[in-house]
Amino acid sequence: MLTYNLVDGEQEFLYVYLYKCIRDDIIAGKIKSGEKLPSKRNFAKNLGVSVITVENSYEQLMAEGYIYSVPKRGFYVCELKDTGVQPRRISGQGISLEREVSSYIADFSSNQTDAAVFPFSVWTKTIREIMNENQQQLMVNPPCGGIMELRVRIALYLKEFRGMQVNPEQIFIGAGTEYLYSLIIQLLGERIKYGVENPGYPKIAQIYSRMRVPYEYVEMDAQGIMPGTLEEKGIDVIHISPSHHFPTGIVMPIARRYELLSWAAGKPDRYIIEDDYDSELRFAGRPISTLYSIDGSDKTIYMNTFAKTLCSTVRISYMVLPQILMERFYKSLAFYSCTVSNFEQYTLARFMENGSFEKHMNRLRNYYQKKRNRILQVFKDRLRNERITIIESDTGAHFIMDIHTDKTEDWIVKEAMKRGIKMAPLSQYYFGKVPWCAKRFVMNYSSISMDKIEEIAGLLSEIIEI
Amino acid sequence: MLTYNLVDGEQEFLYVYLYKCIRDDIIAGKIKSGEKLPSKRNFAKNLGVSVITVENSYEQLMAEGYIYSVPKRGFYVCELKDTGVQPRRISGQGISLEREVSSYIADFSSNQTDAAVFPFSVWTKTIREIMNENQQQLMVNPPCGGIMELRVRIALYLKEFRGMQVNPEQIFIGAGTEYLYSLIIQLLGERIKYGVENPGYPKIAQIYSRMRVPYEYVEMDAQGIMPGTLEEKGIDVIHISPSHHFPTGIVMPIARRYELLSWAAGKPDRYIIEDDYDSELRFAGRPISTLYSIDGSDKTIYMNTFAKTLCSTVRISYMVLPQILMERFYKSLAFYSCTVSNFEQYTLARFMENGSFEKHMNRLRNYYQKKRNRILQVFKDRLRNERITIIESDTGAHFIMDIHTDKTEDWIVKEAMKRGIKMAPLSQYYFGKVPWCAKRFVMNYSSISMDKIEEIAGLLSEIIEI
């Protein structure tokens, strides 16, 4: 009779161990298909366990289809056809608990937020309030565009700070701008040709490519994208950041904006995606007005994110769809669940409602302005002035720096890397030929530690002054 | 000379108000292109404001491209070509603060989690710990698959509770199973034909359709999907829930599993997507073993979610990719940012690490079993037994109920709706012809309030017993 040594199985429930023993023997062919298993009572007696243990094992084997029961006769092994399937080899490799830690002293390619500027205490307090007061609401599946409370707050914010009149129903919240992009592509369909700014944010073209829609790079002049080029190339949808182009920092003048809007109004399927990713972080004056706010033809898809204004690791972005696209979205894409957790949506809504967001934004602007001034001052003091040119714009958490040297860009990047500094050459944001010779770098300073700025400048001077 | 009444603008910064006045006059053509603006000093004197106010307005107008300056001569209005663009009409519609509130007494179509079962206090405590202890880490952009801490915890969980040996690098965390689906489609490419279980979860086909990849419905027998049909239809990738099919509750027997694995091993591009969405909520015995754990050919993409085990509004799901697909992912899709917020990833990792998740799962299983038993008992007591048949499976938060009546399914749905009860006919989960005549309903009970179950049964009896 079938027997197993159940002492080995002490660490598990007995019945689980027994189930596994029988299962493995069936898989290995040691118990043949059609074979009758011992009766529960006899088997239990033989193994020295309770009948319930055998019963539980048999039930698990039945549930998974290894055995079947014939009423009043007993339990039989199912037929497993020889499908030639190999059993899974368990690799010896254990689960590693190591984490990667960035070893840079300074990473000028990163948009990460400095922990010093995240409003930890207010955010934690707000979460606690929400978790106490909104328990029922937190469990309610939100509409596809996100919870109404947050969309209303965003609409009010856009009205007050960006001069935009939008209805909360036009606002769609999603886990990052990249995700919203995939929705836009699904919304507009594949018969659309997308234009990508050159230079620009490299992920945009990667998303078009992975989503398998046609796209083409479009050159810019000093005012941004040219409508004539869009006509020539047969572009239908163009992604731009008119208030602060990434990475060049160009602010598109109002005349060019009107020309672009006129281009968009020329055909029904033309749209402009306005990515307003960091224009709220303008230090001088107020933020540049949005294209959306002057667009009377309703051809602008407005996108924004809390990655810069809160932190890059809270994944909350939103888009404002024109009326016609909003209706299309509700018709064809409303089945999608919102990708942002209710917990964070309610927390952010409350954070905006009670004035914390506005306070935080003022603090943030102040912080970045000071940080930028300090970095530029240290660079000015420590680096030879004829070797660098800073190209400033008043916005956001990066500036452009030209390095005047005979060394190649590659050489600079490698030498910096040796010293623990990651540089981001502007040429990386170009597709194809780069139209100048200067060694030009994008300097994202949001993640740079102020305590190390003297050291960083010292290391840079070693490279620049050779 | 140009003049404005700056008293109206009290509510805003004076310079912003002045900027808007000038801007609107330029747009309206009241100030012509090429026209010279008053000097800052004269204008300030004339308006009775400080020079700095005028200076700030001019700077904003320059930044946005409405005016330009000629050194030593002054400020001039830019040329705005008549592009025929209409100004945006501001609709009178205000921002509505209303929220939609579900008015159902019982919604059997909803998978929402009952607030009574969410571990609010432990979750809040865990967030607070994370917010205190992990401030630096929280700001670090995670790898595309999610933070290593959480992936390690999930790997350990899968090992202990699902008998699966996976490396954390194979695990990819995303904001919901739907989102992970879009990644799988981008990963496998468009030359793949997808199979959709019929009946099944309707969103799967919707996602394929919106992502514009070829797919076909595949019929099932009592054991699930048939490999022969997959061959006939030329399917490459099939989505199944072998441990607990939705909505029928079928558990795929081991023999059929091997046949399917053998089918998948037949061609390089064939894969099985195993959606293990609720098998952890099994009341009798242990969870059914996964297909992944017996697949020696590495053809199974395993997917799971915390929607059932935590709550449906925390958007955290994950997939385990076979080695070859994992490598392909890192090569072609690693540029995507992880869609789940660091805050919730770290919180969940800690929640799993300190044993809270296991405790919660035990409590949850217990809670659902009691809830299910209570509902079935009340139905048995209050509804005429010859009129209903409950088709039980031991798993998850739904069961199937047949109603025996001459009335149509539509009639039942409408009469229930009148009484505030939302029913989910199984036929809704079928594409095309439904192969039976019974009035069969999927009864999701996770969101049903236990306080109202007597009332709900009473209302159902009014319909069933006519």
- Convert the pLDDT of each residue in A314-329 to its tens digit: 999 999 999 999 999 9
ipTM: 0.89
Query: Closest approach of chain B CAs to the CA of A465, in angstroms?
Result: 32
Report how far residue A174's alpha carbon sits from residue A315's, in angstroms, rounded to the nearest whole number: 8
Question: What is the model's pLDDT at position A99?
Answer: 47
Report how far residue A107's alpha carbon sits from residue A117's, in angstroms, rounded to the nearest whole number: 17
Percent of chain A having pLDDT more than 90? Answer: 62
SS (H, E, C) A162-186: HCCCCCHHHEEEECCHHHHHHHHHH
Q: Give the pLDDT band of residue A466 (cuts 50, 70, 90).
A: confident
Report how far residue B159's alpha carbon sits from residue B145's, in angstroms, rounded to the nearest whole number: 19
Helices (H) and strands (E) in chain B, counts: 15, 16
Question: What is the model's pLDDT at position B92?
Answer: 47
- The predicted-structure confidence for A153-193, as pLDDT tens digits, reads as follows 999 999 988 889 999 999 999 999 999 999 999 999 878 99
Report how far residue B137's alpha carbon sits from residue B341's, in angstroms, rounded to the nearest whole number: 12
Range A433-437, long-range pairs (CB < 8 A, 24+ positions): none
Q: What is the mean pLDDT of chain A?
A: 89
Chain A residue with the nearest C-alpha to that of B308? A139
The residue of A141, A173, A261, A320 whose CB has the most chain B CBs within 10 angstroms, and thus the best one to mutate to test that interface, is A141
Contact B291, B257 (CB under 8 A): yes
B339 with A339: Cβ contact below 8 A: yes
A and B: number of Cβ contacts within 8 A: 307
Bridge partner list, A239: A196, A273
Neighbours of A290 (CB within 10 A): 22
Query: Which residues in chain B are contacts of A118 at CB distance < 8 A?
Result: 135, 138-139
Question: What is the model's pLDDT at position A91?
Answer: 54
Query: Closest approach of chain B CAs to the CA of A383, in angstroms?
Result: 29
- Please name the amino acid found at residue A412: I
B84 with A262: Cβ contact below 8 A: yes
Give rounded-to-5 percent helix, strand, coil for chain B: 45, 15, 40
Q: What CA–CA distances, in Å, run from B400 to A140, B208, B388, B440? A: 23, 27, 10, 7
Question: What is the model's pLDDT at position B236?
Answer: 97
B136 with A113: Cβ contact below 8 A: no
Degrees (nearest 5) of the Cα angle B180, B183, B189?
140
Rama region for A434: left / alpha / beta (φ>0; ψ in -120 to 50; rest): beta
Where do we find the tokens 């490299």? A202
A315 with B59: Cβ contact below 8 A: no
Chain B residue with the nearest C-alpha to that of A341? B314
Contact A258, B65 (CB under 8 A): no
- The predicted-structure confidence for A262-312, as pLDDT tens digits, reads as follows 999 999 999 999 999 888 888 877 788 899 999 999 999 999 999 999 999
Tell me if the bond preceding A199 is cis, omega within 30° of 0.
yes
Query: Which residues in chain A are contacts of B138 at CB distance < 8 A?
Result: 115, 118, 311, 313
Q: Which tokens hold the place of B243?
A: 């441990």
Query: Which residues in chain A are contacts of B87 at CB distance < 8 A?
Result: 294, 296
End-to-end Cα distance, chain A:
85
Name the CA radius of gyration of chain B, rounded: 31
HSE-CB at B279 with a 13 A cutoff on CA atoms is 26
Give rounded-to-5 percent helix, strand, coil for chain A: 45, 15, 40
**In B85-215, alpha helices (H):** 120-133, 135-138, 148-162, 177-188, 202-210
B127 with A127: Cβ contact below 8 A: yes
Q: Which tokens hold the place of A406?
A: 């005979």
- Residue A395 or residue B300, greater confidence: B300
Q: Which of A260, A288, A274 is nearest to A180 (CA)?
A: A274
Name the CA radius of gyration of chain A, rounded: 31
Q: Which of B255, B185, B181 is nearest to B223 (CA)?
A: B255
- The predicted-structure confidence for A47-99, as pLDDT tens digits, reads as follows 888 888 898 889 888 888 899 999 889 999 988 776 677 667 655 455 554 44
Query: Which residues in chain A are contacts of B60 at CB distance < 8 A?
Result: 285-286
HSE-CB at A263 with a 13 A cutoff on CA atoms is 22
A83 with B258: Cβ contact below 8 A: yes
Comparing CB atoms, the residue among B97, B159, B341 nearest residue A344 is B341
Chain B residue with the nearest C-alpha to that of A336? B178
Contact A276, A290 (CB under 8 A): yes
Q: Is B10 exposed, middle or buried (0-12, 13-18, 19+ CB in 10 A)?
A: exposed
DSSP state at residue A458:
H
The residue of B31, B133, B140, B183 whose CB has the most chain A CBs within 10 angstroms, and thus the best one to mutate to test that interface, is B140
* Whether pLDDT at A465 is above 50: yes
Across the 466 residues of chain B, what is the mean pLDDT of every consecutive 10-residue run?
Answer: 66 78 86 90 87 88 88 89 68 50 82 91 96 93 94 93 91 97 93 94 93 94 94 97 90 93 95 92 82 94 95 96 96 96 97 96 92 93 89 83 90 93 91 77 91 93 85
Handedness of CA B69, B74, B75, B79 (dihedral sign): negative
pLDDT (mean) for A436-442: 80
Report how far residue B347's alpha carbon sits from residue A312's, in angstroms, rounded to the nearest whole number: 17
B315 with A337: Cβ contact below 8 A: yes
Question: What is the model's pLDDT at position B81?
Answer: 72
Handedness of CA B320, B323, B326, B328 (dihedral sign): negative
Q: Which of B107, B446, B463, B136 is nearest to B310 (CA)?
A: B446
Comparing CB atoms, the residue among B15, B286, B298 nearest residue A60 is B286
Separation of CA A133 from chain center: 29
The residue of B111, B141, B333 whose CB has the most chain A CBs within 10 angstroms, and thus the best one to mutate to test that interface, is B141
DSSP string, B290-336: PSGGG-TT--EEEEEESTTTT-TTS--EEEE--HHHHHHHHHHTTTS
